Chain A
Amino acid sequence: MTNNIDKYRKQSDFIAPEGYYEELYEKMMNKITKKEKNILFTRRSFIYSVVGGAIAAAVALLIVFNLSIFTTNDPQPQSTPLLVAEDNREDSEDHTTMTTIVEDQESTQSLLADNRSSSPKERNRTTQSNSAASISDNIETPLQLDDASYAAIEFYNDAALDNLFQETMMDLECYIDF
């Protein structure tokens, strides 16, 4: 009987349905390709999420610390008015600033009075020589201005007590340059 079994060795073996191996090949190649893509996608998204999270945390920390700096610092003025650039005042409270502005206004008025007393020719010469000088220099050496400049300075002096004093004086500087 064993011989009979041996005789049917090939005949009794199992045959896969037609086209099965090709189909299996395609199916498996698709599976492993998708699997690899998923692994890559998972890796990338993990990296992105970690990096993104770190950046977000850093930004959040910066914002929190900046806010805490703003809220705890003394209200130190960021810049002193141009006309008091030479002043080495350490006290920066509001009333001091206002005093400074008033003093500056007074000194400007005295400058204007001096300028009015001098002749127009002299004033012109002085204006030309001083046109490139900075405001701080102008404080140390009295300004020599023409009539138009006078008018402008007077106009701006009226606004000197205003909170926009700094800005207006910067505008004036521009005007003088022209």
Chain B
Amino acid sequence: MNHISDDQILELFASEKTKEKAFGLLMRKYNTNIYQTIRRIVYVHEDADDITQNVLIKLWNNLSSFRGESSLKTWITRISVNESLTFIEKKKRMLQLDDEEYVTRILNSIPDAEQSISSEQIVELIQKGIQSLPEKQRVVFTLRYYDEMPYEEMSKVLGTSVGALKTSYHFAVKKIEEFIESH
């Protein structure tokens, strides 16, 4: 399904008759990206599922206003990241938790929440280490580490300078290393 270009999807989406079909194609192409981007940030599958659906609804409502200033993938990633960060902020406010308490809560949920992941301890420690990072640093780390996103593209997604992103990623890696060593 990935052989369909973004331009073709957008063209189909522009017509009322083929709008739904275009959106179906878009979902087939980007569902995995959207879900994984979100899941790496919020960790819990149920939360990731809710946010993914919100993102898809936003795409449905706003895709016609996409101006093509960046690639469609970058635009979708930006929406996914923003939705995830907004979700975390809301959740922290709702549960009345500060950053540290929230991270502790997530780390405690890891063994139970993740069932399909490898049982190797190192993998679990990496995931825990990622969740222990501050949100924005987590976003930078996951986009670079898993998606291997170039800093220039990441800069478009997050609206941060390339230098700041490189520094952020460097600190994130260091923190995770320290986390693994300490466990």
Contacts and interface: CB of A to CB of B under 8 A. Distances in A.
Interface string A1-25: 1101100110111111110110011
Contacts of B49: 20, 24
Given A13-B146, A14-B40, A1 B122 contact: no
Contact of A32 (B20, B36, B48): B20
Interface in B18-55: 20, 23-24, 27-28, 31-32, 35-36, 39-40, 43, 45, 48-49, 52-53
Nearest to A33: B20
Contact of B45 (A17, A25, A29): A17
Interface residues of A, number: 26
A31 interface: yes
Given A8-B122, A33-B20, A2 B177 contact: yes
B127 A32 contact: no
Interface string B49-75: 100110011001000000000000000
A164 B76 CA distance: 87
A11 B176 contact: no
A24 B59 CA distance: 15
Nearest to A25: B27
A38 to B, nearest CB: 13
Contact of B116 (A2, A5, A15, A36): A15
A28 B53 contact: yes
Given A1-B180, A32-B23, A21 B116 contact: no
Given A5-B126, A5-B177, A17 B116 contact: yes
Nearest to B35: A16
Contacts of B117: 12, 14-15
Given A24-B49, A25-B24, A12 B180 contact: no
A27 interface: yes
B102 to A, nearest CB: 19
A4 B122 contact: yes
B145 interface: yes
Find the residue from A1, A11, A12 having the highest chain B CB count within 10 A. Answer: A12
B56 A8 contact: no
B123 interface: yes
A8 B57 contact: no
Nearest to A23: B49
Contacts of A12: 117-118, 123, 126-127
B59 to A, nearest CB: 10
A2 to B, nearest CB: 6
B124 to A, nearest CB: 8
B127 to A, nearest CB: 6
A5 B173 contact: yes
20 contacts: A2-B173, A5-B145, A5-B173, A5-B177, A8-B122, A8-B126, A9-B145, A11-B118, A12-B118, A14-B43, A15-B116, A17-B45, A24-B49, A24-B52, A24-B53, A25-B28, A29-B20, A29-B27, A31-B57, A36-B20
